[in-house]
């Protein structure tokens, strides 16, 4: 099952599901036509928190629409309940997570391209706030204060479906609802000192400044959908490809992850209490712009696309701020 959050009008979001014909079904407006749609929570975090019962309600809606006559389906299209994929305004699948956790330094080959950065002894990461999010086909805004070194990092991402704290690796995957895609966009203006500082306080300050370059509005594109966990047999064996204006920049598999999903969940849940809808990006493979010789950075007008096998393709355009 593929779930989405779509924008009906400014600041007005509805949960949706993708049909077998790749149309987008507005599950909120569907309530006017189908009684079963009233059993579907209207907001993604609540839908995920509803677990199997909520997902079964979504599936019942999909089945009911699939079994409608051609005339009835045409009526749904006319009323906007069924939308063509290309006509849909996608928001981030979870527009308002309580935690966005981004894992760094988690592909072996990526560490090699970053001047031989050593393998970390434990997962490393940082958090972002939801204003950094933007959806599929949303704009990445190049900020006027740092417009010249904007980099991409395509990442397979997972979404929690249950609250969890201090869980073991063995039980960790029970708390995952599904998978999506993120692009950990970065202003690289402050990355250099990380590799040159020698004093501990200077290293902390350099890392902090570098992380601020990832916090800017629209610097975490996410989507277009959440694919439920049952549709991905092994998240550690997915092809990930990033293209910039059609040219392949990153091409790798999640089998190169240093820390797998259970390890990430178990480690970070010993500190955080995760909630349904919280998002964790799992790191980026080699091919990032700053690691290239010469470096490659995004500029206004560029189109960056991140595709993950079995999940879909996230596409965004860079615009001047």
Same domain, 84 and 104: no
The Cα 314–Cα 90 span in angstroms is 10
Same domain, 125 and 203: yes
Instruction: Give yes or no for a cis peptide into 81 (omega within 30° of 0).
Output: no
Same domain, 114 and 71: no
Residue 116, pLDDT score: 64
**Which whole-number Å values give the CA distances from 200 to 46, 196, 204, in the listed order?**
43, 12, 6
Same domain, 59 and 156: no
The Cα 227–Cα 62 span in angstroms is 15
Collect the ranges in the chain with pLDDT lower than 50. none
Same domain, 50 and 143: no
Residue 202, pLDDT score: 74
Same domain, 156 and 292: yes
Structural tokens at position 139: 């704009």
Same domain, 170 and 297: yes
Instruction: Give yes or no for a cis peptide into 299 (omega within 30° of 0).
Output: no
Long-range contacts of 187-195 (CB under 8 A, 24+ apart): 187/143, 187/146, 187/149, 187/150, 187/151, 187/213, 187/214, 187/216, 187/219, 188/149, 188/150, 188/151, 188/213, 188/289, 188/290, 188/295, 188/297, 189/146, 189/148, 189/149, 189/213, 191/290, 195/115
Closest CA to 2 of 30, 44, 64: 44
Q: Which of 23, 56, 91 is the last residue of a domain?
A: 91
- pTM comes to 0.95
Same domain, 122 and 270: yes
Q: Which of 36, 61, 91 is the last residue of a domain?
A: 91
Handedness of CA 60, 233, 274, 164 (dihedral sign): positive
Closest CA to 106 of 233, 214, 4, 255: 255
Same domain, 176 and 41: no
Same domain, 87 and 143: no
Q: Which of 91, 116, 148 is the last residue of a domain?
A: 91
Domain that holds residue 62: 2-91
Same domain, 8 and 135: no
Closest CA to 85 of 25, 22, 27, 137: 22
Same domain, 160 and 85: no
> How many domains, in total, are found in the chain?
2
Closest CA to 18 of 158, 228, 172: 228
Handedness of CA 233, 238, 242, 246 (dihedral sign): negative
SS3 content of the chain, % helix, strand, coil (to 5): 30, 30, 40
The Cα 61–Cα 30 span in angstroms is 9
Q: Beta-carbon neighbour count of residue 152 at 10 Å?
A: 30
Structural tokens at position 108: 């072996």
The Cα 274–Cα 98 span in angstroms is 8
Residue 193, pLDDT score: 67
* CATH number of the domain bearing residue 305: 3.90.850.10
Residue 118, pLDDT score: 87
Element (H, E) at 170: helix 169-172
Q: Mind giving me the DSSP string for 254-289?
A: GGGBSS-HHHHHHHHHTT--B-TT-EEE----S--G
Closest CA to 254 of 210, 284, 276, 215: 284
């Amino acid at each position: 099952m593929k779930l989405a959050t779509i924008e009906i009008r400014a600041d007005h979001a509805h949960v949706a599901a993708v049909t077998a014909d790749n149309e987008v079904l507005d599950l909120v407006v569907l309530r006017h036509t189908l009684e079963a749609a009233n059993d579907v929570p209207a907001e993604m975090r609540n839908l995920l928190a509803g677990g199997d019962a909520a997902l079964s309600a979504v599936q019942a809606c999909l089945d009911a629409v699939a079994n409608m006559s051609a005339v009835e389906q045409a009526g749904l299209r006319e009323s906007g309940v069924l939308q063509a994929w290309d006509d849909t305004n996608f928001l981030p699948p979870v527009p308002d997570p309580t935690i966005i956790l981004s894992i760094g330094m988690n592909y072996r080959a990526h560490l090699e391209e970053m001047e031989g950065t050593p393998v970390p002894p434990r997962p490393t990461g940082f958090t972002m706030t939801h204003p950094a999010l933007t959806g599929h086909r949303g704009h990445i805004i190049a900020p006027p204060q740092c417009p010249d070194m904007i980099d991409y990092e395509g990442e397979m991402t997972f979404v929690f479906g249950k609250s969890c704290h201090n869980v073991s690796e063995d039980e960790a995957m029970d708390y995952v609802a599904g998978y999506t895609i993120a692009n950990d966009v970065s202003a690289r203006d402050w990355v250099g000192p990380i590799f040159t500082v020698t004093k501990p306080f200077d290293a902390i300050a350099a890392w902090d400044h570098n992380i601020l370059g990832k916090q800017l509005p629209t610097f975490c594109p996410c989507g277009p959908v959440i694919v439920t966990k049952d549709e991905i047999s092994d998240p550690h064996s997915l092809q990930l490809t990033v293209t910039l204006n059609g040219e392949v920049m990153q091409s790798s598999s999640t089998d190169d992850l240093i820390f797998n999903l259970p390890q990430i969940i178990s480690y970070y849940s010993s500190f955080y209490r995760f909630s349904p809808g919280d998002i964790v990006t799992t790191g980026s493979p080699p091919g990032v712009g700053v690691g290239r010789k010469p470096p490659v950075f995004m500029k206004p007008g560029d189109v960056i696309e991140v595709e993950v096998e079995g999940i879909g393709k996230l596409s965004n355009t860079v615009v001047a701020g």
